[in-house]
A and B are shown apart, each in its own frame.
Chain A
Amino acid sequence: MKKENVANKIFTGLLLLAFFLGTAYGQKGPKDKFVFGPLNPIKMPKVEKAELPNGLKLFLVEDHEFPTIDLWAMVRTGSVFEPIGKIGLASITGQVLRTGGTKTKTGDQIDKELDTLAASVSTAVGTTSGYFSVSVLKEDFDKALSILADILTEPAFSDDKIELAKLQQKTNISRRNDNISSITNREFGKLMYGKDSPYARHTEYATIDAISRQDIIDFYNTYLHPNNTSIAVWGDFKSADMVNKIKTALAKWKKGVLSTQPWPKVSYDYKYTVNFIDKPDVNQSNIMLGHIGGLMNNPDYPALNIMNFILSFERMFKRIRTDEGLAYSVWGDYGASYIYPGTFSCGAQTKSQSTVYAIDIMLKELKKITEQEVSDEELAKAKDGYLNSYVFNFESKSQIVNRLMTYAYYGYPLDFTERLKAGVEKVSKADVLRVAKKYLQPDKVQILVVGKKEDFDKPLSTLGAVNVIDITIPAPKK
């Protein structure tokens, strides 16, 4: 009885105190309960879709805040389709399409004309897509569009600019071992996909030398068709006007044979390997370890997303960076791509003297996530973080229209973002453990270390038989 009274008094006292503090100051502490008012609704912009007679697909969003117009397009092609002896062909084609001029103007004239307008028109070919883009003040859009139309339909592929592109490629080859991080990424990719895989192979002097002007023209003729292309446009225009403008300007871009070539397959043998690249001039090792990853359209992708957050932040970051002070950047991520498997990788860069120690911790954390359920707290933090920041997927109109176009290009449902959110909402601790067990194989990772072995804390051989990778650049033919 007495005790209760005391407790009551204390309670009343606290209430009064809180009331007093509340009126006097009113601040909340970071850990007080916050009740958040409703968020203003997401304003979904109206995305107009159109398909022109030549098969070109358009996605348009009006955005009148600034007097600019931007356009970004994807063309179904990619360096994965270039012949093995001519690696670099796709990239050079993408570059010289823009730099090599047209029937009526040289590339240099176009450069000057666009620069003077502060406008940009660019073209490129990446691994699984070609791109082109325009970015202008709206008053210059017609001029830029007309240049783009000429580039797409009557490119000159001048010898001079082909030569320049090849020189740039060769210079890149000569410089590719200058930076430890580029060595690590490149060679890890080869361990994952195979050194000759379209997803990992790279240029050599010989493959650049083998590329002729005719190869470039053939590559262009094979893939650069309007019916292979989707365009996203956003900015200060009226959609109906814009459709007409593009239709008129690109009417001369004629339908071609649709590219239906399948994306190359990836085959992967899970195995444990230890690989080393000698870089005697550095004081920090670059470490990556992992195996093949997956696709974004995997039904387990939402659970893998949550697992990635926990593995990267809750485990790798907190343990290796915060507790141990071993690295600045550290991660663990089951990578997924649209149409070919990504890579699962854990990585860190640590001083030479803690190389093997850091790898040991990474492997332990990796094993742990496949053996034990994550905690309620970890799951809740990961899901809340994902769901509360979901609104940032709709921050700008350009982001929304580009995302839709990209989904369409890769054949994903246009509401993929919404589906992912619905999936994340349902993820449980059991799901996280299940996908970790299913997709991660801690005993069959390939470890790559680039660094100065004399300074390692322990020889890499303590991890297993070491495969030394030679990265000497094959000399150019004289």
Chain B
Amino acid sequence: MVRKSKTYFLSVLFLTVFVSVTLSAQAQTFEALVKQVKVHTLGNGMKFIVLERHDAPVAAFHVYADVGSANESYGITGISHILEHMAFKGSKVVGTKDFAAECKVLSELDAVYDQWKREEAKATPDKARIKELEAKFTDLEKKAKDYVVNNEYFDMMMREGDAGVNAYTSNDATQYINYLPSNRLEFWMAMTSDRFLNPVFREFYKERDVIMEERRLGLETRPTGKLFEDFMAVAFKAHPYHHEVVGHMSDLQSITRLDVEEYFKKYYGPSNLTVAVVGDVKAEEVFKLAELYFSRIPSGPKPEPVRTKEPEKWGERHVIVSAKAQPYLLVGYHMPDAKNKDSRALEALANIIGQGRSSRLYQTLVKEKKIAVAASSSSGFPSDKFPNLIVFFAVPAAGKKSAECLTSIEEEIEKIKKESVTEDELTKFKRTAIKNILNQMTSNSQMAALLTYADVVLGGFEKGLEQIDQIKALTAADVKRVAGQYLIKTNRTIGEIIPEK
């Protein structure tokens, strides 16, 4: 599953304030928090975070690999998401009837695939040779398949009661999820360490086909999917938020099993993995088993960070997607990453302008002018480990055009630049932020997601506390200032769906 995981920034923080959360209460939070969340790092750099919660005899397991489509370069776009899929294909033990024999066929298969693709790429390809290689490939693929135990990883996990075995890839991360009855802790350790220690990327070429279908389903057959792809490609000229998580079709058609092996080696080592376990477990037990099962994975260097930064923009950008569909408007302005303090004020701005029925856009575009049936805004788009976008959406009402909506959005933005926001609006944002955190913390799985996010992206869950303080300290002047600083035309990209006749 490709999911744009937009984890709420404040994440973890309120972990503790179970007793009384009001806007003013919280100072004692930090110590209680540190007491509840336990962290242990293995010698190889892999980090385990545990939050014990004994309400029900279950546990959520969340493996966060600090690698997503933003780490990809030309030619291998979509490869992080491919690795999300390939993680379910098993290991030297799981998913095979005879690994030694299978392994030989897989190597032959890769070699033939390579020859086949090289022949195709020649200026004057030998058609007969291509046919021969293709036949050989199909034959070897069948042979390899004979050794495969179909979906054995899923079988084993689900049979032990996994209620939500899944994985997600975003621009920033690849995340693997399990929900098990809590007495399956060691089983999870055995299964998961095995697939990170000895992964086998079998059935690779068929899975690539599945992913191409996923691209068609999620992006190519949906007008808004097409718009988002082109919009991001225009908004980011250099930084890899430029391309969609699922990758370009031609890359999906060309990425090889060896590419995947190399990418795995580079990015899915223990120093790049953070695990959160939330539920009816004992932290000490988790750490003991983590040492036993995961410390055997050889350490490697932490991968090099993404090099490319989004350069200066020379002007406003505008992209139009022509589709057999009704109009749609998307406006984005560049904003900093999650760690930057200004992001808090921009979050407030997005909330005040476009979240909730009393927000300015809904009030004006939908209720008063009736030029849109929906209008909203959001910060941290598409992810927020790197500088990203604050975006505004409008769905024009029947018979109305995007242009009218754009004018009204601009007016609302200008008003804030001139007149700032009200105290009521600021209160709304602050309370909503806290309510959202509380809502997310009710589930083990979301809690596990928050813990890993805060640790990896913010640099520790205590950093989240600082963010809460930043939110509490926000003033109307801060919001006004960032509106003036970031919501300017040279910083803007406009995307539209224009109906095809």
Residues of A within 8 A of B (CB): 25-32, 34, 36-43, 64-68, 99, 108, 111-112, 114-118, 135, 137, 139, 163-164, 167-168, 170-175, 178-181, 281-284, 286, 313, 317-318, 321-329, 349-351, 380-381, 384-385, 387-392, 394-396, 398
Closest CB in chain B relative to A220 CB, distance in Å: 20
User: Across the interface, do A326 and B21 meet the contact criterion of CB distance under 8 Å?
Assistant: no
Question: B133: CB under 8 A from chain A?
Answer: no
A387 to B465, CA, bound (A): 40
Question: B20: CB under 8 A from chain A?
Answer: yes
Contacting residues of chain B (179-218) with chain A, CB-CB under 8 angstroms: 179, 181-184, 186-187, 190-191, 193-194, 203, 205-214, 216-217
User: Across the interface, do A178 and B211 meet the contact criterion of CB distance under 8 Å?
Assistant: no
Q: A111-B357, A396-B56 are contacts. A167–B190 as well, Cβ < 8 Å?
A: no
Residues of B within 8 A of A (CB): 18-22, 54-58, 91, 93-94, 145, 150-151, 154-156, 158-163, 179, 181-184, 186-187, 190-191, 193-194, 203, 205-214, 216-217, 220-223, 280, 292-293, 296, 323-326, 356-359, 363, 366-367, 370, 373, 395-398, 424, 427-428, 431-432, 434-435, 438-439, 441-444, 500
Q: Which residue of chain B has its CB nearest to the CB of A174? A: B398
A387 to B214, CA, bound (A): 31
User: Across the interface, do B184 and A30 meet the contact criterion of CB distance under 8 Å?
Assistant: no
Chain B residues whose C-beta falls within 8 Å of the C-beta of A137 in the assembled complex = 21-22, 431, 434-435, 438
User: Across the interface, do B162 and A115 meet the contact criterion of CB distance under 8 Å?
Assistant: no
User: Across the interface, do A34 and B431 meet the contact criterion of CB distance under 8 Å?
Assistant: no
User: Across the interface, do A328 and B435 meet the contact criterion of CB distance under 8 Å?
Assistant: no
Give the interface centre of B22, B55, B162 by most chain A CB atoms within 10 Å: B55
A282 to B325, CA, bound (A): 12
User: Across the interface, do A351 and B442 meet the contact criterion of CB distance under 8 Å?
Assistant: no
A394 to B442, CA, bound (A): 14
Closest CB in chain A relative to B285 CB, distance in Å: 11
Closest CB in chain B relative to A351 CB, distance in Å: 6
User: Across the interface, do A284 and B213 meet the contact criterion of CB distance under 8 Å?
Assistant: yes
Q: A30-B93, A323-B150, A392-B58 are contacts. A116–B424 as well, Cβ < 8 Å?
A: yes
A299 to B182, CA, bound (A): 32
Chain A residues whose C-beta falls within 8 Å of the C-beta of B293 in the assembled complex = 27
30 contacts between A and B (CB under 8 A): A25-B292, A30-B93, A31-B94, A36-B184, A39-B181, A40-B182, A67-B19, A67-B438, A68-B438, A112-B358, A116-B428, A118-B431, A164-B370, A171-B397, A171-B398, A175-B326, A179-B221, A179-B222, A181-B221, A283-B216, A318-B151, A325-B207, A349-B221, A350-B213, A351-B212, A380-B159, A385-B158, A385-B159, A392-B161, A395-B444
User: Across the interface, do B56 and A395 meet the contact criterion of CB distance under 8 Å?
Assistant: yes
Q: A137-B435, A171-B398, A327-B213 are contacts. A395–B296 as well, Cβ < 8 Å?
A: no
User: Across the interface, do A112 and B424 meet the contact criterion of CB distance under 8 Å?
Assistant: yes
Q: A108-B367, A171-B397 are contacts. A67–B21 as well, Cβ < 8 Å?
A: yes
Chain A residues whose C-beta falls within 8 Å of the C-beta of B223 in the assembled complex = 178-179
User: Across the interface, do A115 and B292 meet the contact criterion of CB distance under 8 Å?
Assistant: no
Q: Which residue of chain A has its CB nearest to the CB of B423? A: A116
Closest CB in chain A relative to B92 CB, distance in Å: 10
User: Across the interface, do A111 and B57 meet the contact criterion of CB distance under 8 Å?
Assistant: no
Q: Which residue of chain B has its CB nearest to the CB of A320? A: B210
Chain A residues whose C-beta falls within 8 Å of the C-beta of B395 in the assembled complex = 171, 175
Q: Which 5 A-B pairs have the closest CB atoms?
A: A388-B161, A325-B209, A118-B431, A325-B206, A328-B214
Contacts A325-B208, A385-B159, A391-B58 aside, 15 further interface pairs with beta carbons under 8 A come to A28-B186, A30-B156, A31-B94, A40-B280, A117-B431, A118-B435, A163-B370, A168-B373, A178-B324, A180-B222, A284-B220, A286-B221, A380-B159, A385-B162, A388-B160
Chain A residues whose C-beta falls within 8 Å of the C-beta of B323 in the assembled complex = 178, 281
Chain A residues whose C-beta falls within 8 Å of the C-beta of B159 in the assembled complex = 380-381, 384-385, 388
User: Across the interface, do A329 and B217 meet the contact criterion of CB distance under 8 Å?
Assistant: yes
A104 to B94, CA, bound (A): 66
A42 to B56, CA, bound (A): 6
Closest CB in chain A relative to B10 CB, distance in Å: 13
Q: Contact check: which of A317, A350, A392 meets B179 at CB < 8 Å?
A: A392
Q: Contact check: which of A28, A39, A99, A390 meets B182 at CB < 8 Å?
A: A39
User: Across the interface, do A322 and B203 meet the contact criterion of CB distance under 8 Å?
Assistant: yes
User: Across the interface, do B296 and A30 meet the contact criterion of CB distance under 8 Å?
Assistant: no
User: Across the interface, do A351 and B397 meet the contact criterion of CB distance under 8 Å?
Assistant: no
User: Across the interface, do A40 and B435 meet the contact criterion of CB distance under 8 Å?
Assistant: no
Give the interface centre of B22, B162, B181 by most chain A CB atoms within 10 Å: B181
Closest CB in chain A relative to B434 CB, distance in Å: 7
User: Across the interface, do A115 and B357 meet the contact criterion of CB distance under 8 Å?
Assistant: yes
Q: Which residue of chain B has its CB nearest to the CB of A398? A: B442
User: Across the interface, do A381 and B358 meet the contact criterion of CB distance under 8 Å?
Assistant: no
Q: Contact check: which of B187, B210, B217, B500 meets A321 at CB < 8 Å?
A: B210
Chain A residues whose C-beta falls within 8 Å of the C-beta of B213 in the assembled complex = 284, 325-328, 349-351
Q: A171-B397, A325-B207 are contacts. A66–B56 as well, Cβ < 8 Å?
A: no
Chain B residues whose C-beta falls within 8 Å of the C-beta of A64 in the assembled complex = 18
A175 to B223, CA, bound (A): 11
User: Across the interface, do B220 and A283 meet the contact criterion of CB distance under 8 Å?
Assistant: yes
Q: A29-B190, A164-B367 are contacts. A389–B206 as well, Cβ < 8 Å?
A: no
A50 to B193, CA, bound (A): 50
A349 to B214, CA, bound (A): 9
User: Across the interface, do B183 and A37 meet the contact criterion of CB distance under 8 Å?
Assistant: yes
A212 to B403, CA, bound (A): 32
Chain A residues whose C-beta falls within 8 Å of the C-beta of B22 in the assembled complex = 137, 139
User: Across the interface, do A389 and B54 meet the contact criterion of CB distance under 8 Å?
Assistant: no
A173 to B20, CA, bound (A): 46
User: Across the interface, do A108 and B358 meet the contact criterion of CB distance under 8 Å?
Assistant: yes
